[in-house]
Amino acid sequence: MSFLKTFTNGLLKGNPVLAMLLGMCPVLAITTTVINGIGMGAATIFVLVCSNTVISSLKSIIPKQIRLPAFIVIIAGFVTICGFLLARYFPDIDKALGVFIPLITVNCIILGRAESFASKNSVAKSALDGLGMGIGFTGALILIGSVREIFGNGSWMGINLFSRDAAVSFLTHPAGAFFVLGIIIAVTNILTKKMSAEKTGCKECPVSDACGKKEES
Amino acid sequence: MGEMMIILLNAILMENLVLKKFLGICPFLGVSKKINSALGMSVAVTLVMLAATAITWPIHTYIFLPNKLQYLRTIAFILIIALFVQLVEIILGKFFPPLHRSLGVFLPLITTNCAILGITILNVDDNLGYLDSIFRALGGGLGFALALIVFSSLRQKLEESNIPKAFKGIPAALIAASFFSLSFAGFSGMVENMFGKA
C-alpha cells in the first residue's frame, strides 16, 4: 500500500465508525453537540497517532505473548497525557466528555489499529494510518453531532439556527443517538452500494485473533 | 437498606449502562444475536464488574489518594482488570472446566469492554463509599444483563422480519435499540417515588 492509500483508507472506505462499526460508545455518547465531537475526535487522533508510532517502533522488542497488555499500557499512558492537556487547556471540553476521556483507552479503534496495522508496518506508515483513521473517526463524530445538534437543538457549533420550539429534542436524548446512527449507517450502505452491514460479532473484533474465539458470528 | 436499593435500582433502570450511559455498546450489538451467548456474556460481565470494583476501590482510596497519584488510575485500573480477567480464566480452566467452556470464551473480550473500566472510574470519580460502589457495580452488571437479554430476544424477531435491505443488520438493530432506550426513559422518577429521595 502506498503512503497516500494508507492515509485515505481510514477516511471513507475503511472508516472506523461508518464502515467498520468500531468505537460505538463514544460515538453515541458524546455527539450531542458538534464541539464535543471535535474535542473527542482531536483527543482520539492524538492518542491514535502517538500509540501507533510508539507501538510500531517497539514492535520488535515487545514479546508476542504479552503484546496486548503492553499495547494497552502504552495506550493508557498517552490517554493520561491527553487527559492532562485537555484539563489544562480546554477544561470545558474535558468536563463535557467526562469519563469518556479515560475510556479512550478501551476504544477498540485504537487497540485494533495497534494489533492489525502498527505491529506489522513501518513507523511512518503507522503514524499516517493513525492520522487517517483518527480523521475518519472525527468526521463521523462531526456528521452525527451536526445532525443531532441541528435537528435536536436548532443550533450548530453553538450558533442558533432556528427556534428551539421547532427542534426535535428527542434527537438529543440517548434514544436519539441510536436512531441517528442507525439512519446514517443505512444511508452509508445505500451510498456505498454495500447493501447490508452484517459486520458484528467476534469475527469483526480487531483483537479476535488474539483472544482465539471466532465461533460467535 | 433502602439507600442501597435506590442505588441498585437506579443503576439497573434509570442509569442503565448500555441504554443511558452508552457503555458496552460493542457486546450489546455484537453478542446479542443468540440468547445463550447473551446470557453467558451478561454473567461474565456482572462478575468481573463486581470484582473489579471490589479491587480497584481500595487501591484508589488507600494508595492513590493519600499519595496524590490519582492520575495513575487509568493505567492502573486497566492493568488490574486485564490481570484479573486472565487470572479468572486460568482458575476456571483448571478447576471448573464446564464453567470455563460456557463462560471462558467471553472473558478475554471483557478486558476491553468499556463498561468495566467505565464503572470503576465513575465510582471513584463520584466519591462513592465502598458498599455504595459495590451495589452500583452490581446494578450496572444487572442492568447490562437486562438490556442484553431482552434485546437479544428482540433481535431474533428482527432477523426474520422483512425490512429494507440497507437497514438489515446493524442499522435496524440500532433503531430498535433507540425505541428500547426510549422505553427505559419511562422509569425516570420511579425509584424516588418508591423509596423517597436519596
B80: cell is 488490574
Distance from CA of B95 to the nearest CA of A (A): 21
**CA–centroid distance for A19 within its chain:** 12
Are the beta carbons of A213 and B109 separated by less than 8 Å?
yes
Q: Indicate whether A214 pLDDT > 50.
A: no
Nearest CB to B75: which of A73, A175, A177? A73
Sort out which chain B residues have CB atoms less than 8 A from A102's CB and list them. Answer: 73-74, 117, 121
Residue B198 lies in a domain: no
Residue B37 lies in a domain: yes
Sort out which chain B residues have CB atoms less than 8 A from A83's CB and list them. Answer: 71, 74
- Mean of per-residue pLDDT scores for chain B: 83
* Side-chain-side CA neighbours of residue A175 (13 Å): 13
Distance from CA of B195 to the nearest CA of A (A): 26
Sort out which chain B residues have CB atoms less than 8 A from A79's CB and list them. Answer: 74
Strand, helix or coil for residue A160:
strand
Reported as a pLDDT band with limits 50, 70 and 90, residue B196 is low
Residues, chain A, total? Answer: 217
* pLDDT value at residue B104: 67
Residue B90 lies in a domain: yes
Nearest CB to B166: which of A102, A186, A215? A186
Q: Indicate whether B13 pLDDT > 90.
A: no
Residue type, A109: I
Report yes or no: A185 at the B interface, CB cutoff 8 Å: yes
Q: Indicate whether A111 pLDDT > 60.
A: yes
Distance from CA of A21 to the nearest CA of B (A): 9
CA A54/CA A50 separation, integer angstroms:
6
Are the beta carbons of A106 and B178 separated by less than 8 Å?
no
CA B57/CA B133 separation, integer angstroms:
8
Residue by residue, DSSP assigns A164-182 as: GGGS-GGGGSHHHHHHHHH
Dihedral angle computed from the Cα positions of residues A36, A206, B152 and B190, in that order, rounded to the nearest 10 degrees: -30
* pLDDT value at residue A201: 46
- What is the pTM (predicted TM-score) of this model? 0.82
Q: Whole-angstrom distance between the N-terminal and C-terminal Cα of chain A?
A: 29
- Mean of per-residue pLDDT scores for chain A: 81
Q: Indicate whether A118 pLDDT > 80.
A: yes
* pLDDT value at residue A193: 66
Reported as a pLDDT band with limits 50, 70 and 90, residue A85 is very high
Residue B158 lies in a domain: yes
A24-63 pLDDT per residue, tens: 888 888 888 888 899 999 999 999 999 999 999 998 888 8
Sort out which chain A residues have CB atoms less than 8 A from B112's CB and list them. Answer: 72, 106, 108, 111, 207
Sort out which chain B residues have CB atoms less than 8 A from A215's CB and list them. Answer: 105
Distances B24 to A22, A103, B140, B196 between C-alpha atoms, Å: 12, 11, 11, 30
CA B53/CA A104 separation, integer angstroms:
19
Nearest CB to B171: which of A197, A202, A212? A197
- Which residue in the block uniquely carries the three cell numbers 424477531? B157
Q: In which domain, by residue range, is B103 found?
A: 2-186
CA B60/CA B82 separation, integer angstroms:
17
Rounded mean pLDDT, B166-174:
83
Strand-pairing partners, residue A135, are none
Burial of A115 per CB tally in 10 Å (0-12, 13-18, 19+): buried
Q: Using the CB atoms, write b or e for B76-92: b if 16+ within 10 Å.
A: bbbbbbbebbeebbeeb
Q: Indicate whether A98 pLDDT > 80.
A: yes
Tell me the backbone φ, ψ of residue B44, rounded to 5 degrees. Answer: -60, -45
Residue B197 lies in a domain: no
The ipTM, to two decimals, is 0.82
- Closest by CA to A50, choosing from A127, A125, A124, A104, is A127
Strand, helix or coil for residue B197:
coil
* pLDDT value at residue A217: 34
B37-63 pLDDT per residue, tens: 788 888 888 888 999 999 999 999 898
Are the beta carbons of A200 and B19 separated by less than 8 Å?
no
Reported as a pLDDT band with limits 50, 70 and 90, residue B22 is confident
Fill in the DSSP letter of residue A159: E
- What total number of domains does chain B contain? 1
Kindly report the number of other CB atoms within 10 A of residue A23's CB atom: 26
Rounded mean pLDDT, A13-22:
77
* Side-chain-side CA neighbours of residue B68 (13 Å): 0
* pLDDT value at residue A50: 94
Q: Indicate whether B98 pLDDT > 90.
A: no
Nearest CB to B170: which of A173, A185, A190? A185
For chain A, give the percent of residues with pLDDT over 90: 19
Residue B196 lies in a domain: no
Nearest CB to A102: which of B30, B74, B179? B74
Report yes or no: A175 at the B interface, CB cutoff 8 Å: yes
Reported as a pLDDT band with limits 50, 70 and 90, residue B164 is confident
Please state which of the ranges A8-22, A134-148, A187-201 shows the lowest mean pLDDT: A187-201
Residues A126/A117, Cβ–Cβ less than 8 Å: yes
What is the radius of gyration, based on Cα positions, of chain B? 18
Please state which of the ranges A93-107, A147-161, B182-196 shows the lowest mean pLDDT: B182-196
Q: Which of B14, B103, B175 to mutate to test the interface with A (most CBs of A within 10 A)?
A: B175
- Closest by CA to A173, choosing from B89, B122, B42, B21, is B21
Residue B141 lies in a domain: yes
Are the beta carbons of B174 and A200 separated by less than 8 Å?
no
Please state which of the ranges A169-178, A179-188, A196-205 shows the lowest mean pLDDT: A196-205
- Closest by CA to B25, choosing from B125, B173, B131, is B173
Q: Indicate whether B191 pLDDT > 80.
A: no
Which of A158-167, A193-202, B71-80 holds the top average pLDDT? B71-80
Q: Indicate whether B133 pLDDT > 70.
A: yes
B59-82 pLDDT per residue, tens: 998 988 888 888 888 899 988 888
